Structure 1
């Protein structure tokens, strides 16, 4: 008994060793392994992604409450650094710098460089800008991401009207961060560059940079991701593409309410409807924005500019609705708030079009002089600000204003300036009003889908191989266990039931295998029957033509036999009459008739041999063949076959065979089968179009052979009904046919394609236009 147990253990050890040695690693496990990388560009686990979101989306108010309760220096410094990462406003970096210095932290130098004084004086703004850039450089040396700090430079650049310097700085930083894989900072640079292109009115570049930034923000900061989508919608709205703007704005509305994005979104939707002259919808959107809670903030940063923006926008809508009296009080209220807050023309809430709205208000009241002053003030501010979008808008408004006042000179001057600026902007960004990045992204998505399909195919192949190896190991183990079971049965009757169950399982497997084999055999038989049906259909076409061809020599044999019989009677009479000369003449005529009978008999025999050769399975042996003769012979047989089916069928046949065409090595029976199929299809198409009763229609078929370099080309062209594009795409697929049920198997062209492409290394192509006919081009190696 001990030896039996030892044998069982050895068998199991062998089975486990075989499985472990031969099976590859699980493909799913290979996929789940983390790949090396930096920042959000590398693969993240769910826990890592959640940690990134928690860090960059933490509410600053909550962090400030935590800070008031913390006493330990290390904890306070960590919270202060977190606050500085989220926003520079309302955070004094002095304490953080002091704590970092006291604790000997490497961030101390960068923190000391951060500006502490705020103001609007140009000299102070320059100093603030230089301090923040120096702090960013210090953080870069530590490898610490500072995307919010990078964006904090924007207001200073805007206040100093240094857009070109801003572009140069962010482009340089972007290249620096991309080389080091600092994804968070790359996202910030892309966003800030998008703001530059907004100033320049280049919506193509602006939206493309917004979308590139959003793609990166999505991996670590969903607030900024939705913010960028909101910006894309706003830019598309300004660009005049509402169909693209609305989907992005609707996506941005999915952001949590606590993030405070809804006011800006509703403002943008209102501007969009105002552009589309849907004034009730615009009024509804702006009132939704004004009804939102006044204390709603953007991650702890107040946005006082939103209220005057909403008042100005509502005034513009009311003016468009002709409700001038209601617009005046709103404008006065907006003016007071804008003056008290010192709001710039272009800020985080968009363009502050207060002067332009005043101009429309004065124009509606008939105060032409005040309207002119307001329009000129709006235009001069836009030009000083460098905002190309507003410049173009106000130039057009001024041209229209002076045109309405019957002042053609200034109207023409502003119209020409608007046209020149519009041409410049249109040349720079294209006229489709769709950002080029969207096309690039669509192409990348398609390439990624192809890559995923290829990867899935590789994984499926690996999985199938693994399963095969498992099955082999299982079968080997089953065989081993069956042998061990026999030994155990003799030693221990208690194992008999287990062995019986194993036998039943093996019987079930064999039954399944037999059933599968039987189904496969039936499938192959069905396929063979369909192929044979197609060959017999082709043989039927051939036989019909042969029947007509063989009738001629048989008629000759019958006629010459009858004449020969009459000559023999005359020969007997001349012989009895002793007319030797007449006997000689009659004998010569009989011999000549017999010779012709033999010739026509050989012709009939040749036709029968050709039919048998066509019906006989191909040997696959290629022989030198006269292609012109082959085309002509099967054309004649196919035409006679069609005439046999329809005696009224007539077609004008034109052959244009290349003279002196050298023999081509091919299997004549197989290529003849292909030609017969092409001719039959052409005659069918001609017959179908003729039945439509089209006036003046003459069925024509042209067969051409030509020697082209290393190829011999055969063209079969008809002027039948032709084929649609979707039919051409599937014409060589097995079992596809356009003929009614019972008239075709759908295998003719499929078999023909296989004969030419696989059997002869050539090509078979179709060129067709619906309503004008079809042309099949058969190319064979010369």
Structure 2
């Protein structure tokens, strides 16, 4: 049974949390209540679609828009028209509200205004839409037409209705109106309770309303005679106000500072009271076109009355006179009395009475006290009425007039007794006690729920313990059986392990033999491939050598006879010069002999080039007979770099490339044929110098020809890198550079056998590698790799 109760409580908690979350999510929609109305109006001016303008006008109408009466009527009129045009269900309600504002501006009879406002509120209620502005309008009209009790009954009924509908905007207005009613009747207990409820409602949708009501609660506590509570709520309200974004217009610091000054007066801290009285007078409006601008002179009058009261407390009577005179001027011009809209009670007459009494003018003080009491009775402000009765009794007693003093004292005592039944002994609002009780009940409920959870957890733990003990007993029996069988298995496993070890060892030996055979087979295949390649190259060399020898003999005859023919042509020119032939014939023969000589020279030139190609083919096919010997590659590289550089300087002494070397200091000796490797290095350096010289001849700005040499030891090899920042090669050229007879040099400047021969010397003769890395227009790097252990 307890288990089901626990489930029910958990279910209710989940439902409550879901409902609370739903309410919180729903109230997020109303955060525009805190939007700056001036910002909303600027956005409204840019909107052209009916839907967008309707939405913004609704936001302005629902919040504190600080509009002038004409501006408010115009905005609600457009709102009603747009809702009607868009066929929105709110159209009748907005139309009635706009009509009520029009009647108010036209100063129509209050009864007609009240009927229209009630009809608008009923329309909004049917739609479930908040209408705080309509409720405020009805409150003012009820105050004109009906007794205060009727106003209280109206707002109490509406508050009950809106609590069921969960409408915090309307509840806020109802609680605020009820708080004002009860405090005006002297029932601060009920009044402050309703104001704190209003602050709680404001927290849900508009924190500006929350800090306003916290300030009101503080001012009521000050009037009630609990300055500590007053300062608590006033400071809380000011802190919240300063944490919120500032709205244009009046800053509203005056209201809490008035109440703080009154609280400090009650505590006897008059310097602090004067400081806050001064703070209440520093606010100035930033926009005189809005409705709050009309409050500024009223606020100035009220602030001077408060400051005058503090100055009288301090005995600074002379300073209070000008302030009271100016406040009286404002009150007369604005028709301000004791009780005024949007302000708390302005005790101007009572402060005058204190001022005259301090100056020793009892007649004028009496007149002022009587005027103050008359206003309190007329406006039915019970707390001030009681205070003024006591002040009159004290005043007449000081004047020695016992009859009026006794009469006012008895009236004050009777009024005080009627109020005492409704006030708490400690001057703390009942709502705070209710809130504390609710919090205590919530803590008790949480503790009970925790106890239920702990009890359920204890039952689960006991059940788990019983099951665990039974399981342990079962496991103990099974453990013995398993131990017995395990002993038998261990013996069998020992034998299997010994057998497995033997099999594993034999498997390892077989795998090692297999790996050796694989390695041997791989070496054999590599050796076979090298032998086949060598045989192919040897056959190609023999064929090349045979062809070269066959070509060389007739090529020698061509070269020899071309030289002889050139000499004969020279002798014929000499003989022709000695003969006496006619000039035209002699000149023609001379030209023919010159052309014949040039032809013989070209034959000789190309014959010599062909002879060079034949010599290169013979060198390419000739098997090196050099012996390998340990060689210092750093020294060999530097020697052939200098040799190639000197050869270049002999051809062109104006060319000065930059040479950079980075030689490994700990490079070991490598077994190579130094002559063959030197030929390779000389060819690589010559190609690098040729590439940088060609790029320099292009006239590129800022170009500095550079040839680099680097040696290093990497993974059992010696790496030689010859780099340049010359013309570079394309990918298509890089694919062909090691082919015989391929060259990129102009005709007559290269045979195309240099890199091919170098590749054969390095790859075949020494078992190394020769690769190229080049980017066209950037440069080239040739990588030479030689094994430290020599070729396989």
TM-score, normalised to structure 2, is 0.52
For residue 306 of structure 1, what is the aligned residue in structure 2?
299
Q: Is structure 2 residue 294 aligned with structure 1 residue 317?
A: no
Q: Is structure 2 residue 276 aligned with structure 1 residue 285?
A: yes
Q: 1:121 to 1:321 in 2, by over 3 A?
A: farther
Q: Is structure 2 residue 263 aligned with structure 1 residue 264?
A: no
CA-based RMSD: 3.7
Q: 1:67 to 1:97 in 2, by over 3 A?
A: same
Q: 1:34 to 1:415 in 2, by over 3 A?
A: closer
CA distance in 2 between counterparts of 1:400 and 1:355 reads 17
Among 358, 383, 404, the alignment partner of 1:364 is 358
Q: Conserved in 1, the CA contact under 8 Å of 2:227 and 2:266?
A: no
Q: Which moved more, 1:126-135 or 1:42-51?
A: 42-51
CA distance in 2 between counterparts of 1:336 and 1:415 reads 33
Gaps of 5+ in 2: 1-5, 476-481, 487-492, 498-792
Among 389, 401, 411, the alignment partner of 1:407 is 401
Q: Conserved in 1, the CA contact under 8 Å of 2:168 and 2:204?
A: no
For residue 104 of structure 1, what is the aligned residue in structure 2?
87
For residue 37 of structure 2, what is the aligned residue in structure 1?
60
Q: Which has the higher contact order (CA 8 A, sep 6+)?
A: 1
Q: Is structure 2 residue 160 aligned with structure 1 residue 170?
A: no
Q: 1:34 to 1:68 in 2, by over 3 A?
A: farther
How far does the alpha carbon of each residue in 1:608-650 deviate from its partner, in whole angstroms, 9 at most, with x for none?
Answer: xxxxxxxxxxxxxxxxxxxxxxxxxxxxxxxxxxxxxxxxxxx
- The alpha-carbon deviation at position 213 of structure 1 amounts to 2.6
For residue 386 of structure 1, what is the aligned residue in structure 2?
380
How far does the alpha carbon of each residue in 1:455-507 deviate from its partner, in whole angstroms, 9 at most, with x for none?
Answer: 3455667789999999999xx9xx9xxx9xx9xxx9xx9xxxxxxxxxxxxxx
Q: Conserved in 2, the CA contact under 8 Å of 1:136 and 1:146?
A: yes
Q: Conserved in 2, the CA contact under 8 Å of 1:255 and 1:261?
A: no
Among 21, 32, 37, the alignment partner of 1:43 is 21
For residue 432 of structure 1, what is the aligned residue in structure 2?
426
Q: Conserved in 2, the CA contact under 8 Å of 1:87 and 1:149?
A: no
- The alpha-carbon deviation at position 271 of structure 1 amounts to 0.8
Please give the residue correspondences for 1:233-632 in structure 2 after superposition, counting only pairs within 5 Å.
233-257=218-242, 258=246, 260-295=251-286, 301-302=292-293, 303-304=295-296, 305-346=298-339, 347-457=341-451
Q: 1:56 to 1:248 in 2, by over 3 A?
A: same
For residue 127 of structure 2, what is the aligned residue in structure 1?
142
CA distance in 2 between counterparts of 1:276 and 1:440 reads 27
CA distance in 2 between counterparts of 1:320 and 1:430 reads 28
CA distance in 2 between counterparts of 1:226 and 1:468 reads 53
How far does the alpha carbon of each residue in 1:397-456 deviate from its partner, in whole angstroms, 9 at most, with x for none?
Answer: 112222222222222211111111111111222433122222222111111012223334
CA distance in 1 between counterparts of 2:326 and 2:192 reads 33
How far does the alpha carbon of each residue in 1:232-258 deviate from its partner, in whole angstroms, 9 at most, with x for none?
Answer: 211111111112222111211112332
Q: Conserved in 2, the CA contact under 8 Å of 1:60 and 1:299?
A: no
Q: Which moved more, 1:116-125 or 1:400-409?
A: 116-125
Among 176, 190, 193, the alignment partner of 2:175 is 190
- The alpha-carbon deviation at position 345 of structure 1 amounts to 2.3
Q: 1:261 to 1:299 in 2, by over 3 A?
A: farther
> SS where residue 43 of structure 1 aligns?
helix
- The alpha-carbon deviation at position 292 of structure 1 amounts to 3.7
- The alpha-carbon deviation at position 180 of structure 1 amounts to 3.3
Q: 1:185 to 1:456 in 2, by over 3 A?
A: farther
- The alpha-carbon deviation at position 177 of structure 1 amounts to 2.2
- The alpha-carbon deviation at position 181 of structure 1 amounts to 3.5
Q: 1:155 to 1:46 in 2, by over 3 A?
A: closer
Q: 1:348 to 1:451 in 2, by over 3 A?
A: same
How far does the alpha carbon of each residue in 1:665-716 deviate from its partner, in whole angstroms, 9 at most, with x for none?
Answer: xxxxxxxxxxxxxxxxxxxxxxxxxxxxxxxxxxxxxxxxxxxxxxxxxxxx
CA distance in 1 between counterparts of 2:306 and 2:407 reads 29
Please give the residue correspondences for 1:656-667 in structure 2 after superposition, counting only pairs within 5 Å.
none
- The alpha-carbon deviation at position 84 of structure 1 amounts to 1.3
CA distance in 2 between counterparts of 1:371 and 1:99 reads 59
For residue 85 of structure 1, what is the aligned residue in structure 2?
62
Gaps of 5+ in 1: 1-23, 494-782
Q: 1:441 to 1:261 in 2, by over 3 A?
A: same
TM-score, normalised to structure 1, is 0.52
Q: Which moved more, 1:128-137 or 1:139-148?
A: 128-137
CA distance in 1 between counterparts of 2:62 and 2:224 reads 33
> SS where residue 422 of structure 2 aligns?
helix
- The alpha-carbon deviation at position 144 of structure 1 amounts to 0.6
Q: 1:343 to 1:73 in 2, by over 3 A?
A: farther
For residue 696 of structure 1, what is the aligned residue in structure 2?
none
